Chains A and B, each alone.
Chain A
Amino acid sequence: MSLGDPIPRRDGPLKVAGRATYAADQHPQGIAYAAPVLSTIASGEVLSIDTRPAMQRAGVLTVLTPDNMPALGQLTDLKGGTLGEPRLPLSDRLVEYDGQLVGLVVAESLELANEAAALVQIVYAPGTPRSEIERSSDRFRPKDFYGIAELQTQRGDVDEALSASPFRLQHSYETSVEHHNPMEPHATTALWEGDRLIVYDSTQGVISTRNVLAHFFGLPAGNVRVICPYVGGGFGSKGYVWPRTILAAAAAKATGRPVKLALSRQATFSNNGHRGRTIQTVSLGADQLGRLIAIRHHTLTQTSLAGVHVEPSGIATGMLYACDNVAVSHEVARVTTGSPTAMRAPGEASGVYALECAMDELAEAIGMDPLELRRRNHAVSDPETGKPFSSKHLLACYERGAQAFGWSRRDPRPRSMTANGMLIGWGMASATYPANMRPSSARVEAEPDGRFVVTAATQDLGTGAYTILAQIAAAALGVPVEKVRCELGDSALPEATLSGGSSTSASVGSAVHEAALKLRTQLSAGGAPMAEAHHEPGELEKQYSAHSFGAHFVEVAVDPELAVIRVRRVVSAMDVGRILNHRTAQSQIRGGVVWGIGMALMERTGFDPATGRLVTRNLADYLVPVNPDVPEIQVILIDEPDPHFGPIGARGMGEIGITGLPAVIANAVWHATGVRVRRLPIVIESILHQL
């Protein structure tokens, strides 16, 4: 057995037996249930809250409102944690979006809590909602994306280069507000033991959650324990700490009882983040050989009234292709919605969509094969930083993907390919996502029976962390993987980073690798049976630009009469560094592709422009791909270890699968129908009248 072996998912047996316990599966002794009271206006103020009808119900323990919510710590200096909504729940009477938490009922039973929440009487002074970017003049230009990437950049002279380009085009592309909708709605079970707080939370970061709770409740970090052995999907929506976690802890403190707060699906739409809508304008200039001379990429997106998160759509634009003149800019409008947050490939999912649609339009304008256009603009080193890439096999992705798909048989003319009365379209696009590495620790212990246990305060969102971390440890220890198990998802374990930005393999994996090597050395010298390691990006990582790359190829079929669009097959070739487990890796890419199908053809959160209220707050109105929507997805993994990124050379792969895919579908729809749709999702109405 070695690294990369496709061993079955370690957490599989528990999950198929229904024995994996999620945050809302906890039943501590004496449990009480909480139900939120959500605002029914999108903007304004709470004038009064009458909780008496709810409190009169036998079995209702308390109703927390802005009137009686205990004061929590200051909103500054969160000591290593991040709030999804930079605003404390129930701290004032302002209503800044529909579905804001304005109260919390705690009762003896779930049904009683839900009933009592409906009895809370609120009088509002409504303000003027503005849920659409177009209606908001409150705008700003963000400087950077969490200090990771600049959001206003320029190199060369774009205006000059564009006007000198033999081929140039400019188009606007739009993406919709999207919601993560993990199958596990956000949930927290909180209990106090004296001055110690224990929280079972559905989170992508037990350490971040612990730090935020310790800060707001005025406790030493050691007095807070956040436990999360399994997460029912996160995709970014459980990355930061959202109001429910803080409220559950406050409710448990107020009642002296363990409190379970499991949000309804509807409630998860309002204050657990979303991807902001984007309106992107892309200008491309190229010469007769298809070589890019200029790129301009401007993004207009949105955040909430208090929000800081913005969808950084231009984040990959300066890096993806060789081009001397590139300008990237972002502008943000404040709207009366909940706060946006990171959602699978924040920036790349929306931005590579726009750029790769524009590239397809450029290929059409020049009369060049879209794949050949990408090849001609291949960047050997990072054109933005000038640094060499740590490792890059994008050309191999193009070649192997195209070959597996049969791309050379594509007739470039739109509407030229048909099958069984359907219009057939073939599209392709590049995919990319950065390699992220953040400080993390891990411990490896030898047990008396010859087995080993890996521990780290990371979490497995369904990504395969339990499996690959055991494989990494086993390889470094030189023992069969059956002898290694992992314990994760507990803030009492060695501190590890948030599960976000596809960073776990490189961050926690590197720490596990080093701890295991250390232990191996210790054991051979008769030393202690336990070793811990801390890993963070070093000099090596600074010298290189580290990104993953890939290429997607998709076939769609469009019904010429009904305009129904079906994805018939997908080939995705991915260069993500070393593959740690070929089975779970394939699933990660497939999952990203399925998300791309959803983004391209289904997902859109709607707001009523008159009231600013959400109109798609359930899974019948907000559509996600279901089984018949998903065809065979062939995943080709290049599996070239990255020699300049961490000790293992794995760059992470949770997010790259969605990038580029919506563009491929848009490009394939054009190829099938001759209709360019520049707004996602592409639905029947988008093309019906042009077929």
Chain B
Amino acid sequence: MTPPDLSRRDLIYLTASGGLLGLGAPGSNAEAESQQAQARPEKRSVELTVNGERREFQIAPSVTLLDALREHLELTGTKKGCDHGQCGSCTVLVGGRRVLACLILAISEHQGEPIETIEGLARDDGVHPLQAAFVAHDALQCGYCTPGQIMSAIGLLREGRPADDDAIREGMAGNICRCGAYEGIVAAIRSISAGGVE
């Protein structure tokens, strides 16, 4: 498909005014945007390949990949924890690499690259070995950060086998687990790291 004709200026304007910033600092309320408000670009067509499936839909250019996945494609396995790239809950793989879905727009240069989310991880037998390892090592409690932890761990393992537990810890430093299941997370990744991962 044709990439949307969106200028850099449009993007900066759109992201600054809401999309990427979520609510913005609650204080930036307003700065009087009422006249510009009427002139927003309309929705555009976007085509994403998510978990091997091509999805084409209409979307406002300001929508993040995270909101596109969750609210437009109803793939809610990817979680929103901060919307600022600070917690890692929304980690997905784009082109095989770890990406924070809240920090990129759905309409972006990543279009066309395969997107992998937690929903696409399970194999035919129902579960990916790393998912099983997370359960076996009690690498979760509330489960909210878990999809992001697992996708991040998949990305980490694809980047090369971590040398030791400290390398796993550093490699997973961008994924906060408020329940504090870090030891289990390290143990689960270690158990898979030894055998390699696809």
Which stretch in B4-12, B93-101, B107-115, B141-149 binds the other chain?
B141-149
Q: Which of B37, B117, B118, B176 contacts A626 (CB 8 A)?
A: B176
Smallest CB separation, A95 vs chain B (Å): 12
* Given A18-B147, A111-B67, A462-B143, A119 contacting B30 (CB threshold 8 A): yes
Query: Mask for B165-198, Cβ within 8 A of A = 1, else 0?
Result: 0101110111111111111111000000000000
B144 with A22: CB separation less than 8 A: yes
Report chain A residues within 8 Å CB of B166: 628
A463, B141: Cβ atoms under 8 Å?
yes
Closest residue to B184 on the A side, CB-wise?
Answer: A587
Decide: B23 and A38 in contact? CB cutoff 8 A: yes
By a CB distance below 8 angstroms, the chain B residues around A591 are 141, 179-181
In the complex, per-residue mask of A574-611: 1 if CB is within 8 Å of any chain B CB, else 0: 00000000011011101111110000000000000000
Rounded to whole Å, the gap between the CB of B105 and the closest CB of chain A is 11
Given the known A-B contacts A16-B140, A462-B179, A619-B176, are A120 and B83 also in contact in the complex, defined by CB atoms under 8 Å?
Answer: no
User: Is A418 close to B, CB under 8 A?
Assistant: no
How long is the Cα–Cα vector from A17 to B134 in the complex, in angstroms?
10
User: Could you say which residues of chain A place their CB within 8 Å of the CB of B2?
Assistant: none
Q: Beta-carbon contacts of B12-29 to A below 8 Å, as 1s and 0s? A: 000001110011111111
A40-B26, A115-B18, A120-B29 as given contacts; A627 in contact with B143, CB under 8 Å: no
Q: Which residue in B37, B81, B136, B170 is a CB contact (below 8 Å) of A265?
A: B81
User: Quick check: is B138 within 8 A (CB to CB) of the other chain?
Assistant: yes
Residues B62 and A628 in contact, CB atoms below 8 Å apart: no
Q: Determine the distance from Cα of A14 to Cα of B118 in the docked complex, in whole angstroms.
A: 11
A349 to B84 Cα, complex, angstroms? 30
**A184 engages B22 (CB within 8 Å):** no
Q: Tell me whether A522 is interfacial, beta carbon within 8 Å.
A: no
A40 adjacent to B27 (CB under 8 Å): yes
**Interface residue? A632 (CB, 8 A):** yes
User: What mask results when residues 615 to 637 of chain A are scored 1 for a CB within 8 Å of chain B, else 0?
Assistant: 00111100011111010110000
> By the criterion CB–CB under 8 Å, are A8 and B135 in contact?
yes
B residues in contact with A110, CB < 8 Å = 67, 71
The answer to whether A628 touches B33 (Cβ under 8 A) is no
CB distance from B83 to the nearest CB of A (A): 6
A11 to B23, CA, bound (A): 32
Q: Flag whether A281 is at the interface (Cβ < 8 A).
A: no
Q: Which residues of B contact A620 (CB under 8 A)?
A: 84, 86
Main secondary structure of the interface of B (DSSP, over half): loop
Q: CB within 8 A of B178: which of A117, A183, A267, A617?
A: A183
Q: Which residues of A contact B45 (CB under 8 A)?
A: none
A8 CB to nearest B CB, Å:
5
Contact present for B143 and A232 (CB under 8 Å): yes
Q: Are A618 and B29 in contact (CB under 8 A)?
A: no
Q: Mark out the residues of chain A between 1 and 43 whose CB falls within 8 Å of any chain B CB in the assembled complex.
A: 8-9, 11-22, 24-25, 27, 33, 35-40
**Is B150 interfacial (CB 8 A cutoff)?**
yes
A262, CB-defined interface residue at 8 Å: yes
Q: Which residues of chain A are within 8 angstroms of B18 by Cβ–Cβ distance?
A: 111, 114-115, 118
A231 to B179, CA, bound (A): 12
Given known pairs A56-B38, A111-B62, A633-B183, the reply for A624 and B23 (CB within 8 Å) is no
Return chain A residues, CB-CB under 8 Å to B86.
Answer: 265, 618-620
Q: Does B32 reach chain A (CB closer than 8 Å)? A: yes
Contact check, A628 vs B170: say whether CB atoms are below 8 A apart: yes
Q: Choose one: A119, A270, A590, A632; the contact of B180 (CB below 8 Å).
A: A590
Q: Kindly state the separation between the CA atoms of A620 and B63 in the bound complex, as whole angstroms.
A: 23
Size of the chain A interface, CB-CB below 8 angstroms: 87
A183 touches B33 (CB 8 A): no
Contact partner, B141, options A57, A99, A587, Cβ 8 Å: A587
Specify which of A184, A270, A613, A626 is in contact with B142 (CB 8 Å cutoff): A184
- A267–B173 CA distance with the chains assembled, in angstroms: 24
A185 at the interface (CB under 8 A from B): yes
Evaluate whether A16 and B146 lie within 8 angstroms (CB atoms) in the complex, with A627-B169, A627-B185, A627-B186 already known.
yes
Which residues of chain B have C-beta atoms less than 8 A from A112's C-beta? Answer: 60
Cα(A626)–Cα(B25), bound, Å:
24
Q: List residues of chain A with CB within 8 A of the CB of B180.
A: 590-595, 625, 630
Q: Which listed residue (B31, B76, B182) contacts A25, Cβ 8 A? A: B76
Residues of B contacting A633 in the complex (Cβ-Cβ under 8 angstroms) = 183
Q: When chains A and B are docked, how far (Å) is the Cα of A121 from the Cα of B22? A: 18
B17 touches A17 (CB 8 A): no
Assess A462 versus B23: contact at CB under 8 Å? Given A24-B80, A111-B18, A627-B185: no
Task: Name the residue of chain B whose CB is nearest to the CB of A234.
Answer: B142
Q: Tell me which residues across on chain B come within 8 A of A619, comparing CB atoms.
A: 81-82, 84, 86-87, 176
Q: Separation in Å of the B12 CB from the closest CB of chain A?
A: 15
| A118 to B176 Cα, complex, angstroms | 29
Contact yes or no, B76 A21, CB < 8 A:
yes
CA gap between A266 and B122 in the complex, in Å: 33
B120, chain A: closest CB distance, angstroms: 9
In the bound complex, do residue B23 and residue A627 qualify as a contact, i.e. CB atoms below 8 Å apart?
Answer: no
Say yes or no: B23 contacts A117, CB within 8 Å: yes
Taking CB as reference atom, which chain B residue is nearest A11?
B143
A183 & B84 in contact (Cβ 8 Å cutoff)? no
Complex formed: what's the CA distance from A110 to B70 in Å? 11
Is the CB–CB distance between A118 and B29 below 8 Å?
A: yes
> In the complex the two chains form, is B82's CB within 8 Å of A17's CB?
no
A contact residues around B63 at 8 Å (CB): 111
A645 at interface, CB cutoff 8 A: no
Complex CA distance for A618 and B87, rounded to whole angstroms: 10
Asked if A325 lies at the interface with its beta carbon under 8 angstroms from chain B, I say no
Question: Nearest-CB distance from B53 to chain A (Å)?
Answer: 16
Does any Cβ of B come within 8 Å of A203's Cβ? no
Residue in A15, A270, A584, A632 whose CB lies within 8 Å of B143:
A15
Beyond A16-B134, A109-B71, A114-B23, is A230–B143 a contact (Cβ under 8 Å)?
yes
User: Looking at the complex, which one of B37, B127, B178 makes contact with A115 (CB distance below 8 Å)?
Assistant: B37
Are B29 and A37 in touch, CB under 8 angstroms?
Answer: yes
Chain A, residue nearest B34 (CB): A53
How close is A9's CB to chain B, nearest CB, in angstroms?
6
Contacts of A121 in B (CB 8 A): 30, 32, 34
Q: How far is the CB of A186 from chain B (nearest CB, A)?
A: 12
Cα–Cα, bound, A183→B140 (Å): 12
Partner of B17, one of A115, A122, A182, A235: A115
Once bound together, how far apart are the Cα atoms of A22 and B81, in whole Å? 12
Per the bound structure, the CA–CA distance linking A233 and B23 in Å amounts to 22
Expressed in whole angstroms, the Cα–Cα distance for A9 and B27 within the complex equals 42
**A109-B71, A111-B62, A462-B143 known; A16 vs B173 contact (CB < 8 Å):** no
Interface residues of A in 181-198 (CB under 8 A from B): 181-185
B196 CB to closest chain A CB (Å) equals 19
Contact with B along A224-256 (1 / 0, CB 8 A): 000000111101000000000000000000000
B38 contacts which chain A residues (CB < 8 A)? 56-57
When the two chains form their complex, are residues A16 and B131 in contact, meaning their CB atoms are under 8 A apart?
yes
Could you tell me if B142 and A233 are in contact, using CB atoms closer than 8 angstroms?
yes
A156-182 contacts to B (CB < 8 Å): 180-182
CB A572 to nearest CB in B, in angstroms, measures: 12
Residues from chain B with a CB closer than 8 A to the CB of A20 are 143
List 13 A-B residue pairs with CB atoms under 8 Å apart, sorted by A's residue number: A9-B140, A18-B119, A27-B76, A38-B26, A114-B18, A183-B79, A183-B144, A462-B142, A587-B141, A590-B181, A627-B170, A628-B166, A628-B169
Which 4 pairs across A and B sit closest by C-beta, in order of nearness? Answer: A18-B77, A594-B180, A462-B142, A232-B144
Starting from the known contacts A53-B37, A183-B176, 7 additional A-B residue pairs (CB-CB under 8 Å) come to A15-B140, A17-B122, A37-B29, A181-B178, A182-B178, A233-B179, A627-B182
- Residues on A lying within 8 angstroms of B by beta carbon are 8-9, 11-22, 24-25, 27, 33, 35-40, 52-53, 56-57, 98-99, 109-112, 114-115, 117-122, 180-185, 230-233, 235, 262, 264-267, 270, 461-464, 583-584, 586-588, 590-595, 613, 617-620, 624-628, 630, 632-633
